[in-house]
Structure 1
Amino acid sequence: MAVKKKLAVLFIVDLIIIWFSIYSAYYFRFEGKLVEPYVNQMFLYCAISSVLCGACMAYFGMYRKMWQYASISEMFAMCQAVAIGWALSYAAASVLSEVRVPLAVAVRTLETSLLLVGGVRVIWRVIRLRQSSGMDKRIPTLIYGAGDCGALVAREFKGAAMADHKLIGFVDDARDKLHLTIHGLPVLGNRTDLSTLVEVFKIKEIIIAIPSVPRSQVSEIINLCMASGVQIKIIPAINDLIKGKISVNAIRNVDVEDLLGRDPVHADLQGIADYVHNKVVLVTGAGGSIGSELCRQVASFAPDKLLLLGHGENSIYTIEMELKHKYPGMLFEPIIADIQDRKRIEEVFDTYRPQVVFHAAAHKHVPLMEKNPAEAVKNNVFGTQNVADCADKYGTERFVLVSSDKAVNPTSVMGATKRIAEMYVQSLNASSRTRFASVRFGNVLGSRGSVIPAFKAQIARGGPVTVTDPQMVRYFMTIPEAVQLVIQAGAISQGGEIFILDMGEPVQILKLAEDLIRLSGYEPYIDIPIHFTGIREGEKLFEELLTAEEGATKTQHARIYIGKPEVIQQEDLYVELQKLNNVVLGNSEDLKDVIVQLVPLFARVS
């Protein structure tokens, strides 16, 4: 109804314009001194023009159009309506009047009518556009990357799925693309212009559409975009571009993993398939972050049977249901067992005779294990001993221990127990038919109890985010790539190695916290405070992947290295382990002293 009222007002305005055009034409033709016959003619001309011009403009749809969206075709139709109405009015007035309408009056009337009728509509359109731009709720967006992927994303923006976005243009570092247009949108500048473009165009979102460039470069661009305070989305991989098509579903939010700046891991699929395919594979700790991912990736190589062993029934049930849904024809065996229970582990090995074992079950939380050192020893040392002994006894072909960088020059009980576990499987390898190996890596992003979920929970609560020390750094890797390298290490193992995964460059925990706050849409220290709590018991500022004695040699895989194996006297190790067992059973306060006897590099924390 409101629209009809506005169009009725427009009709009245048009009539006023016609009358004004005729009056001004007569006024200028006779220099303001109208004689009697022309006064009557002017009123007659106004009456006739009101009817005929109004009818023509109505016929051409001038009062059915939304003029804020008018284009050239609407303006051309308006000119037709005015011209035809003028011609008919001029002819009718000349016939009905006592004297012919002066041609100069008619021409001036046409000129003024066209100018004012068109001008009113242009002004209306400008006013409405300004009003609508002020009310425009769409998200001003830039695309970073003016290549094939960026062009496909821009094309997707024309669809209804992206109607809430207002695409402003492109940013690209290629000089030859500057000022070009793609799908009618300009390439506005390069990375040095980013902050200026964000400010000028009030950009709220940047979509990074450069899936083929190295991850390190993508990481740099993400940091640049975050510094501009905008939301960042990304096209994650070149595989998302298939035959020139892309779905808006491929556009996702930037995650912390994108900031690592490392290219994806490429596995030797044939090598993995050879030792896992059609084999009975056991994964201990199968319900945990690493263990469950091991199950997912091992399942993709079609083992004969996959044994899912864990202590918690809920986590084992969850991973079993997931795998059964994804691999309906595969055999899975959920096993609830505690690796500290030697008899139960014997039963598992005797029943299923696993040919490949991935031992991921462990207590891993450093501060928690400092408060419960006996439990760390029982699980990480003697639990590993139980599983490794059974692998040896029942003829397992390969045994891979998932270790930690905290086993290097350990300052924590957890790290020391992982080092003892490494030593035990190394010593057992010397006399066993089983190929025993350990794989050592740093923190994995997103694992339960790791820093990322903790930071996310703190941000969700509104802060503060707690960081132990501003100088603390850690190596990080995503769970899937860490597990892929663990499986790959098992393929190349000859027995007795400690494999070290290339973790890339260490990451400052404080920067990680700041980045995660920005990725969550907040500004660190302003919206979300960061508090420093001090280093916890057993923690280091810097983690290491190798001791000075171990060194490192390359393998055929660019991301996997071998630490030089130490000579471990099996008899001496058994003696020290027996002492450790006696102390654990007696719950003695001298537990850490005994650990130091096994791991001299263990710096006891008071």
Structure 2
Amino acid sequence: MKRRLKVGLILLSDIIFINAAIFVGYFIRFSWHIPKAYLNRYIESFVPISIIMIISFYVFKLYRSIWRYASIDELLSVVVAVSSGTLASFIYGVVMRNRLPLSVYFVMWALTIMASGGLRFLRRVVTHLEMMQGVGDKRAKRILIFGAGDAGAIVAKEMKKHLDMGYMPVGFIDDDKSKQGKYILGIPILGTRYDLEDIVKEKAIDEIVIAIPSADKDERAEIIRLCNKTGCRLKTLPGIYEMIGGKVTISQIRDVEIEDLLGRDPVELNIEEIAHYLKDKTVLVTGGGGSIGSELCRQIARFNPKKLLILDIYENGAYSLSMELKTNFKELDHEVIIASIREEGRINEIFEKHRPDVVFHAAAHKHVPLMEANPKEAIKNNILGTLNVVRASDRYGVKKFVLISTDKAVNPTNIMGATKRFTEMIIQAMDRVSNTEYVAVRFGNVLGSNGSVIPLFKEQIRKGGPVTVTHPEINRYFMTIPEAAQLVIQAGAMAEGGEIFVLDMGKPVKIVDLARELIRLSGFEPDKDIRIEFTGLRPGEKLYEELLMSEEGLKKTKHKKIFIGKPGEYEFEQVETMVNRLKDALDENDEVIFKLMQEFVKTYKRVEN
């Protein structure tokens, strides 16, 4: 009822404005001496003209817009509605031979735009003043926008439009010297990146929003590092490739994450090549509920498989993924299978029933210290479990088998890495005797995956520290979960059998540097607000990881981020003999396991820290 009353009052105001504008037009045209003939024309026309104008206003939704958020779009709607109504009124006058003077139509057009538009935009002004008052009651966050381009301008506009969210844009930073000293939406461009620290102090900046979506990853990473040194909280927009239609809204502004500092460009995929081996195929992902496995499932779903099988022993992760896939891929036929890869009979039963065409084997124990303390479990899961899936793939005619391996398999110093190297030997040996194409894909640490240092650091920062790092010189290779999953799928498309694909991980990152950047991103100063504590290397832990064994060599592929290591020459009977000896040793003490693995994996050099 309240809404209808408001619309009725606005409609009545419009009728008054329209007719008042006609009278003003008459006075301008004839001064105070309006000829009686023209006055009669108005008396005969004012009702039809009012109706025509109101219909035009209705057609162009002037009575359905929310004017407290009015912008240039609404202003254009007013102009188009009044123009259309005026033109229709003129045509009516000509057809009915009751036309008013041309000057009157022009004055009516101009004054109605000013009056009706002004009435509507008055609501926007009142709302703005109310919000400013509200912001004044609680101090708004002072925002510096890095980037005075289109995206930065839209960010500033969005913030001024939604003052109730407590953002106050006070300036821009931009390296374009021609923009210095100018204004966007009344907000000054204060300087370049080289003035950043001084501007932050002078303007008491609380947050910096990085609004350069077109910048490449290296450039964005450099800007983030520069902004991170100011101690301000950082926010950013997604990259240009991640933004749909290039439109920026407040909801797209997010906190800067540690992934933004990797400086890695988006993965380029050969869609046609991938689609060829996944489309209309039954695809099985073991460990499908884990961090890597679940992302593999998300990426595979894009290529329209005939059926996606998500196999995992942990039901919660697989269930959550299934619910997500039902929402995001409504047409996808998928099934969750709760099973352990250790149980050969169960694995054979699954393969016999579903007959998968492609298998991605991501199920594994991967925590280095835990496996060092429980080596038998690493053998049971990583070696015996993998062998079960490898044999079933051969027995039931799988076309491609892709093993997810790790950089810790290279010259391993821990039992986890040694078991993963052994699984590479298994698939290379099986590839020589099977029609299935067996390959391994080796990469380093994945940011945000289960067991990675990032979640641990975030929790330690949340508790006020200290952040624990094992050694000041320790470094690791990192990539994001989607990047790793996409490259694994691409490598599978390139597989011919027996290869170990090595992913380009970029440059290694010092873990202590990662910890410092994350502390700064959280709004604290390293070693001042949050202390970093060195705890010493853990059992089996290396200072530096390697991605390629020295005896393997390295060969380029047609994909710039994927390389191939030379296939190993292993006999499957020999590998089976090793596996049987490991099975027998499961009843012995842990030292027997360690010694056997050193015998079987020649590059395994156990380190007891």
Q: TM-score under structure 2 normalisation?
A: 0.76
**Are 1:408 and 1:544, in contact at CA under 8 Å, matched by a contact in 2?**
yes
The alpha-carbon deviation at position 569 of structure 1 amounts to: 2.9
Alignment of 1:147-296 (within 5 A): 147-160=149-162, 164-239=166-241, 245-296=247-298
Q: Match for 2:144: what amino acid?
A: L
Q: Match for 2:540: what amino acid?
A: G
Q: 1:60 is matched with which residue?
A: none
The 10-residue stretch of structure 1 (331-340 or 342-351) with the greater mean CA deviation from structure 2: 331-340
Name stretches of at least 5 consecutive residues in structure 2 with no aligned partner: 1-132
Quote the sequence identity (%).
53
SS in 1 for 2:360: strand
The equivalent position to 2:542 in structure 1, one of 535, 540, 543, is: 540
The 10-residue stretch of structure 1 (385-394 or 319-328) with the greater mean CA deviation from structure 2: 319-328
Cα deviation code 1:294-352 (max 9, x no counterpart): 11111121111111111112222222222122223322221111111111111111111
Whole-angstrom CA distance in 1 between matches of 2:513 and 2:408: 21
The equivalent position to 2:146 in structure 1, one of 144, 147, 150, is: 144
**Are 1:149 and 1:241, in contact at CA under 8 Å, matched by a contact in 2?**
no
Q: 1:21 is matched with which residue?
A: none
**Are 1:285 and 1:291, in contact at CA under 8 Å, matched by a contact in 2?**
yes
The alpha-carbon deviation at position 566 of structure 1 amounts to: 2.2
The equivalent position to 2:366 in structure 1, one of 351, 364, 367, is: 364
Alignment of 1:65-104 (within 5 A): none
**Are 1:161 and 1:248, in contact at CA under 8 Å, matched by a contact in 2?**
no
Q: Match for 2:558: what amino acid?
A: Q
The 10-residue stretch of structure 1 (569-578 or 261-270) with the greater mean CA deviation from structure 2: 569-578
**Are 2:207 and 2:233, in contact at CA under 8 Å, matched by a contact in 1?**
yes
The 10-residue stretch of structure 1 (519-528 or 203-212) with the greater mean CA deviation from structure 2: 519-528
The 10-residue stretch of structure 1 (535-544 or 286-295) with the greater mean CA deviation from structure 2: 286-295
Whole-angstrom CA distance in 1 between matches of 2:429 and 2:156: 60
The equivalent position to 2:581 in structure 1, one of 574, 579, 600, is: 579
Q: TM-score under structure 1 normalisation?
A: 0.76
The alpha-carbon deviation at position 523 of structure 1 amounts to: 1.6
Q: 1:408 is matched with which residue?
A: 410
Q: 1:392 is matched with which residue?
A: 394
The alpha-carbon deviation at position 136 of structure 1 amounts to: 6.6
Cα deviation code 1:170-209 (max 9, x no counterpart): 1112222222222222221111110000011111111101
CA 1:161–1:447 in structure 2 vs 1: closer, same or farther (change >3 Å)?
A: farther
SS in 2 for 1:283: strand
Whole-angstrom CA distance in 2 between matches of 1:167 and 1:284: 49
Q: Match for 2:576: what amino acid?
A: Y
Whole-angstrom CA distance in 2 between matches of 1:242 and 1:438: 35
Q: Match for 2:214: what amino acid?
A: S
Q: 2:53 is matched with which residue?
A: none
SS in 2 for 1:236: coil
**Are 1:240 and 1:250, in contact at CA under 8 Å, matched by a contact in 2?**
no
CA 1:171–1:601 in structure 2 vs 1: closer, same or farther (change >3 Å)?
A: same
Whole-angstrom CA distance in 2 between matches of 1:532 and 1:173: 39
Q: 1:449 is matched with which residue?
A: 451
**Are 2:240 and 2:246, in contact at CA under 8 Å, matched by a contact in 1?**
no
Whole-angstrom CA distance in 1 between matches of 2:272 and 2:244: 26
Q: 2:491 is matched with which residue?
A: 489
Whole-angstrom CA distance in 2 between matches of 1:580 and 1:220: 49
The equivalent position to 1:526 in structure 2, one of 528, 546, 553, is: 528
CA 1:240–1:389 in structure 2 vs 1: closer, same or farther (change >3 Å)?
A: closer
**Are 1:576 and 1:597, in contact at CA under 8 Å, matched by a contact in 2?**
no
CA-atom RMSD in angstroms: 1.8
Q: 2:474 is matched with which residue?
A: 472
Whole-angstrom CA distance in 1 between matches of 2:444 and 2:582: 27
Alignment of 1:420-439 (within 5 A): 420-439=422-441
SS in 2 for 1:357: strand
Cα deviation code 1:22-44 (max 9, x no counterpart): xxxxxxxxxxxxxxxxxxxxxxx
SS in 1 for 2:170: strand
Whole-angstrom CA distance in 2 between matches of 1:358 and 1:349: 13
Q: Match for 2:271: what amino acid?
A: L
The 10-residue stretch of structure 1 (459-468 or 421-430) with the greater mean CA deviation from structure 2: 459-468
The alpha-carbon deviation at position 480 of structure 1 amounts to: 0.9
Whole-angstrom CA distance in 1 between matches of 2:323 and 2:420: 31
SS in 1 for 2:591: coil
Whole-angstrom CA distance in 1 between matches of 2:196 and 2:603: 50
Whole-angstrom CA distance in 2 between matches of 1:333 and 1:343: 19
The alpha-carbon deviation at position 277 of structure 1 amounts to: 0.9
The alignment covers a number of residue pairs equal to 476
Whole-angstrom CA distance in 2 between matches of 1:267 and 1:273: 10
**Are 1:441 and 1:545, in contact at CA under 8 Å, matched by a contact in 2?**
yes
**Are 1:156 and 1:162, in contact at CA under 8 Å, matched by a contact in 2?**
no
Q: Match for 2:279: what amino acid?
A: H
**Are 1:360 and 1:401, in contact at CA under 8 Å, matched by a contact in 2?**
yes
The 10-residue stretch of structure 1 (176-185 or 472-481) with the greater mean CA deviation from structure 2: 176-185
CA 1:241–1:312 in structure 2 vs 1: closer, same or farther (change >3 Å)?
A: closer
Whole-angstrom CA distance in 1 between matches of 2:536 and 2:507: 23
Are positions 1:324 and 2:350 aligned together?
no
The alpha-carbon deviation at position 524 of structure 1 amounts to: 1.6
The alpha-carbon deviation at position 135 of structure 1 amounts to: 7.2
**Are 2:179 and 2:189, in contact at CA under 8 Å, matched by a contact in 1?**
yes
The 10-residue stretch of structure 1 (133-142 or 544-553) with the greater mean CA deviation from structure 2: 133-142
Q: 2:512 is matched with which residue?
A: 510
Q: 1:377 is matched with which residue?
A: 379
CA 1:133–1:251 in structure 2 vs 1: closer, same or farther (change >3 Å)?
A: closer
CA 1:353–1:183 in structure 2 vs 1: closer, same or farther (change >3 Å)?
A: same
